[in-house]
Amino acid sequence: MVYQKTESQYRNDIIEICKRVHRNGWVASNDGNISIKIGPDSVLCTPTGMSKGYLTTDQLVKVDMDGNKLEGEMEASSEVKIHLDVFKNKPGINSAVHAHPPYSTAFAVAGLPLDQCVIPEIIVSLGSIPLTAYGTPSTQEIPNSIRKYLQDHNAFLMENHGAFTIGGDVYQAYYRMESMELFAKISLLAKTLGNVNNITEENVRKIIDLRSNFIKDDNGYAGCKIGDKLINSVGPSGENNINSSSSPGDNEMITLRKSELVEIVSKIVSNIVNK
């Protein structure tokens, strides 16, 4: 892993994302935590007990991969252990965002995953979003519950708690949170209208097959569900796997900008409509 930015730049990135999650209404008071792995054994994270909307770069805390403080006058968030567990167990992931976006958190409180095949953009970018088992905040219970889904997912609903997303950098982690929250909002609105219409299995398979031409390895992908049927599981039970262009030896991570993802999805949708 090559760390391409200076520590000062990483600090600025965290503060920028803190402001965004606060402005979006995804956190209140001292909620949430954000981190970036900035070296082989060093992680920058938000401090405990501070509003994300008013943090400054000098208030961030640097810890090692075991959570021991390396630098900073404040204490690291008590939930940094979730972030560290992800960094230890999923290569290629260098940032994590935890917040309480209202629509996503509503699904987490209702005990409902966001795993249905209903929106092409979500099928491409996130696939299914699992509901992880409830864990007592600030304990090892939460990292343990996320680890079960970690290898095949990059966005998680934390039961009765909130949302958690990960990425190769902090912007990718943030954009995954943004996509998840919009998906949750649309899903809830559709439910209030009385129907959530799944895309047909044939068309889901077309989307996932086309997806494989653009995204070779995005640190895990588990497809999505139509009812209880999982389409394109790439895990050990992946009997529906149609992503034939990826092989077990692929290790390259591709990071997409939001504009690039929009372009890919537009091509996928156009291909489906014109067939």
Q: Write the CA distances from 192 to 27, 52, 116, 196, integer angstroms.
A: 25, 32, 16, 9
Q: Which residue has the tokens 């987490």?
A: 108
Give the pLDDT confidence score for residue 263 in this predicted structure: 64
Q: Which residue has the tokens 């030896």?
A: 249
The 10s digit of each residue's pLDDT in 210-245 is: 888 888 666 788 899 999 999 974 333 334 343 333
Give the pLDDT confidence score for residue 153 in this predicted structure: 96
Rounded to an integer, the average pLDDT of 25-33 is 97
Q: What is the helix (H) or strand (E) element at residue 180, kind and residue range?
A: helix 170-192
The 10s digit of each residue's pLDDT in 130-181 is: 999 999 998 999 999 999 999 999 999 999 999 999 999 999 999 999 999 9
Q: What is the pTM of this model?
A: 0.84
Give the pLDDT confidence score for residue 262 in this predicted structure: 62
- DSSP character for 168? S
- Find out whether 193 and 218 touch, Cβ atoms under 8 Å: no
pLDDT reading at 30 higher than 70: yes
Where exactly are the structural domains of the chain?
7-192, 201-274
Residue 241 burial (C-beta neighbours within 10 Å; 0-12, 13-18, 19+): middle
Give the pLDDT confidence score for residue 252 in this predicted structure: 42
Homologous superfamily (CATH) for 7-192: Class II aldolase/adducin N-terminal domain (3.40.225.10)
State both tokens at 228: 């209880």
Give the pLDDT confidence score for residue 257 in this predicted structure: 55
The 10s digit of each residue's pLDDT in 41-50 is: 999 999 999 9
